[in-house]
A and B are shown apart, each in its own frame.
Chain A
Amino acid sequence: MATTTPHPTPVPSADRRPARSPHRSDMELARRSRWAQAQLSWRRHWQLYLLASVPLAYFVIFKYVPMAFNVIAFKDYSPVLGPWGSEWVGLRNFELLFGNPVFLTLLENTVILAGYLVLASFPIPILLALALNEIRNGWFKRTVQMVTYAPYFISTVVVVSMTILLLSPRSGIVSTNFLGEPDYFRHIYVWSDVWQTAGYSAVIYMAALAGIDPVLHESAKIDGASRLQRIRHIDLPGLLPTAVIVLILGVGNTMAIGFEKAYLLQNDLNLAQSEIIPTYVYKTGLINADFSMATAVGLFNSVVNLCLLLVVNFAAKKVTGKGLWR
């Protein structure tokens, strides 16, 4: 390692100058040196640019073009005229949406379901990781880990089918029709999710626990600290940064709560609580073919979600000293 000398990197001359108010010629120089950098990079990596062009085209076509197509939220979309040719209607779709009493129910269902999910799925993986961390490596630990991790890889369709089979009065082990009761929908959604993901989420905490310096535990042991005291004063503080990030990410995902499961668990009887924004977008857009309205609802959802993420990232920076990205 000692023999590798840092190879001389050409420092742009603009950076070397003593700091003073940004002069026109300085900015010109900086701009030119960026241009020179780009040219150098192209000469050196032109094959990589060609390679990257295909995935870049993918992102433009399937991610950025759809963002542009959101204009139809402000139009009366007609497939014949296309997204650009259709007639502008201003904010009419949004006025209709916000004036619709269904909207408040949708918003309420979405936010409550997501909030419940974040809160319920937060403590159990931590508990699981702490418990696994206490016991010795051996067949029992391995078994618990393998089994609790497994449901994560079962498909949503299968998990929902299992839930329905277990909870239906005819075939299952209970006698109430839980799925027909709107009041049970959230509990079923959230706890089947906890069942599926607790083992997977625990892995992240296990890694954080593995990163705690063992010397801390050893010296605490010598000082006569009990296991519970060591969890309380060493493990929990060690988990805190990870836990904050997980919680914050969960809050940031409120509006992005999954369509897949809610749609599968839905039936005519529990619709009062199971209809959330994503399922409503799907039905309005693809079943009733009202593209403009569905896009307006979707756009509202995306914008709220983006704002939430920005707020949450700001909070994360305040609490942990660094943001979720950059």
Chain B
Amino acid sequence: MSLFTSKLLRNGPSATRVREPLGDRIFLLVVKLMLTVMLLVVLAPLVFIVANSFSSAEAVNAGRVKFWPVEFSLHAYEVALSNSQVLQGYYNSLIYAVAGTLISVTLTVAIAYPLSRKTFFGRNVIMTALIFTMLFSGGLIPTYMVVQNLGMLNTRWALLIPGAIGVWQVIIARTFFANSIPDELFEAASLDGASEIRVLRSVVLPLSKPLLAVLALMYTIYQWNTYFDALVYLKDPDLFPLQIVLRNMLILNSTRPGAEDLAQQLEQMQLVSVLRYALIVVSSLPVLLIYPFIARHFTKGVMVGAVKG
């Protein structure tokens, strides 16, 4: 029966689709209306921000911009992209994202792969120990003391190492290895006399590209978006990632004025509010650029985790 109906469905809507009863068509209309409302609610703030960022300072300050740029201007972007703090923050965040992702993915694979092997003695004990750290954390201050004792305070390492491995990511990777690499492969490889590291490098990793993509995306997004570790561990403004720079400019209002006369100061104050909108757009741009990849791969990662939590 299911064969019959699925064939029916495959034949396409125009040929065989039966007209739905009136009640269902009304219901579907309501559903679509609801989805449209949800779409608009999510979209409206984003459009509001973008529209403001492309408007003139006067229009923004007068509150005349709603959902379309008024007196189109790129001035805010020019100022944002020539600000040394923003550029330094961008540069730092790029370093943290690239280096952090490399370190994190390597370490995650290094623990998840052995734990995925059924003959790896101690795997259950180790896994339990890892999961326990999800349930009970050492806390902010004790972790700070460890970082302090290691001499990592106020260095780039403080953002790369203390949060390097996510247990969730280990679970995702371990599940992937356990489910998608057949055991026969290991036997064949060991009969050929390949060492464990060699098997990992030339057999397992080439088969695990989707996993590596998911892990890399997750860690990159985390590094790009987080500000907590930087807030706690860094004092030197030259090391600040973009998110801290944004926080200082957007939320604490601490843009350095540096203007001489009153007219200039006033102009700058006006500019500051447009600048905020432009900064939001500029800082979210890298994530937006990789968003199509994220939408495809992230979902898979979420699913793996959800299936085997």
Contact = CB atoms under 8 A, between A and B. Distances in A.
B and A form one assembly: yes
A47 B38 contact: no
Contacts of A285: 140-141, 144
A179 B138 CA distance: 32
Nearest to A53: B110
B146 A157 contact: no
A254 interface: no
Nearest to A284: B141
Contacts of A136: 13
B268 to A, nearest CB: 16
Given A157-B251, A195-B42, A325-B131, A171 B303 contact: no
Interface string B134-158: 0111111111111000100000000
Contacts of B291: 150, 153
Contacts of B226: 155, 260
B146 A65 contact: yes
Contacts of B43: 147
Contacts of A66: 137-139, 142-143, 145-146
Contact of B117 (A45, A62, A161): A45
B21 to A, nearest CB: 7
A63 interface: yes
Contacts of B299: 203
A72 interface: yes
B117 to A, nearest CB: 7
A80 interface: no
Contact of B136 (A67, A207, A264): A67
A155 B243 contact: yes
B283 A228 contact: no
Contacts of B273: 170-171
B229 to A, nearest CB: 11
Contact of B144 (A67, A157, A286, A325): A286
A101 B229 CA distance: 30
B119 interface: yes
Contacts of B27: 226-228
A311 interface: no
Q: Is the interface of B mostly helix, strand, loop or mixed?
A: helix
A158 B280 contact: yes
B91 interface: no
Given A158-B246, A207-B303, A69 B142 contact: yes
Given A52-B111, A260-B227, A69 B49 contact: no
A51 B110 contact: yes
A130 B150 CA distance: 50
Contact of A61 (B135, B146, B294): B146
**Residue among B126, B137, B246 with the most chain A CB within 10 A?**
B137
Interface string A289-326: 00100110011011101100100000000000000110
28 contacts: A45-B120, A54-B110, A58-B165, A59-B129, A59-B130, A65-B138, A66-B139, A72-B142, A128-B38, A131-B38, A146-B295, A157-B247, A165-B277, A170-B273, A173-B66, A195-B45, A198-B42, A200-B302, A203-B303, A207-B303, A227-B24, A228-B27, A286-B144, A294-B140, A298-B139, A298-B142, A299-B139, A305-B136
Given A47-B197, A70-B139, 14 more contacts: A41-B121, A49-B114, A66-B139, A67-B136, A70-B142, A72-B141, A144-B38, A162-B49, A162-B280, A204-B306, A219-B1, A285-B141, A302-B137, A325-B131
Closest A-B pairs by Cβ, 10 of them: A66-B138, A41-B121, A69-B142, A298-B139, A155-B225, A66-B142, A55-B111, A161-B250, A48-B114, A47-B196
Interface of A: 4, 7, 37-38, 40-42, 44-49, 51-52, 54-56, 58-59, 61-70, 72, 83, 127-128, 131-132, 134-136, 140, 143-151, 153-158, 160-162, 164-166, 170-173, 195, 198-200, 203-204, 207, 214-215, 218-219, 226-228, 242, 245, 259-260, 264, 278, 281-282, 285-286, 291, 294-295, 298-299, 301-303, 305-306, 309, 324-325
